[in-house]
Amino acid sequence: MARTDAIHESEIPTKSRGVQELSEIEQQILDYMVQYLRANTFQPSIRDIGERFEIKSTKTVSEYLQALEAKGYLERHPSRSRGVKILGVDLGGDAVSVPCFSSIAVATSGDASPESLLSLDPQFGSREGSFLVRAKAGELGVLGVSEGDLVLISPIELGELEDGAVIVIGSSDAASFFRFLRSGSSFSFEDLKPGGRTTVSEQPASTGLVGRVAGFYRKMDEVGSLNLTPH
């Protein structure tokens, strides 16, 4: 029941202000398809859609689906029954569930429960095992990250790391940000703390690579969180 509202309020983007217009009925059909899918675990047939909207010809419904496909909301396949691929719908399967911690120390300590749990589209760079930490003042200033920003850290293998990537190295009692520098077969790690120095290492086995900074998000809900001074 809880979720019913959200579905009725059209979870598929209305593209608010004239953005990529769906007609009223196109939007309703798309919403119906998602609602039906969620409720039944299978899709409505074109006939089901027609019945719902009192459209008597399957051709007409098919044309609406064609319009939705042209506008990028669907992908169809000739003759696949109840088999439209609805794009941009989260069925709970591919979004990664990402815990959010108040600091990187807390996140890596191993025994803290997350501040919250968000679902993050993998397109943002999240993987299985990713987590978010709230940035402290100055912690990642060189990357344009401000205090309070949510920094996404995704697990990675040393072999996957590109030169220049920002990584987290830590143990259970301390963790911090480094820039990874690759020169030939040896690596070095530049401490990103103000005044931090470069450490050279060839044996990365025990360095405790937690992950790599995959991105960050700054939420601008309170004006106070805006950075009003140009820099």
Partner DNA sequence: CTACTGTATATATATACAGTAG
Tokens 């912690």, residue located:
139
**What minimum distance in Å lies between the beta carbon of 52 and DNA?**
12
Question: Binding pattern to a copy of itself, positions 65-84, x when CB under 8 A?
Answer: -----xxxx------xxxxx
**Residues within window 109-138 making contact with a copy of itself, judged by CB under 8 A:** 109-114, 116-131
Answer left, alpha or beta for residue 37, where phi above 0 means left and psi between -120 and 50 means alpha.
Answer: alpha
97 binds DNA (CB under 7 A): no
Rounded Cα distance, 60 and 21, in Å: 19
CB 227 within 8 A of CB 218: no
42 binds a copy of itself (CB under 8 A): yes
Rounded Cα distance, 116 and 106, in Å: 13
**What minimum distance in Å lies between the beta carbon of 53 and DNA?**
8
What is the identity of the amino acid at 47? R
105 binds a copy of itself (CB under 8 A): no
**Residues within window 38-77 making contact with DNA, judged by CB under 7 A:** 45-47, 50, 54-60, 62-63, 65, 76-77
Rounded Cα distance, 214 and 180, in Å: 13
Q: Which residues bind DNA (CB under 7 A)?
A: 23, 25, 45-47, 50, 54-60, 62-63, 65, 76-83
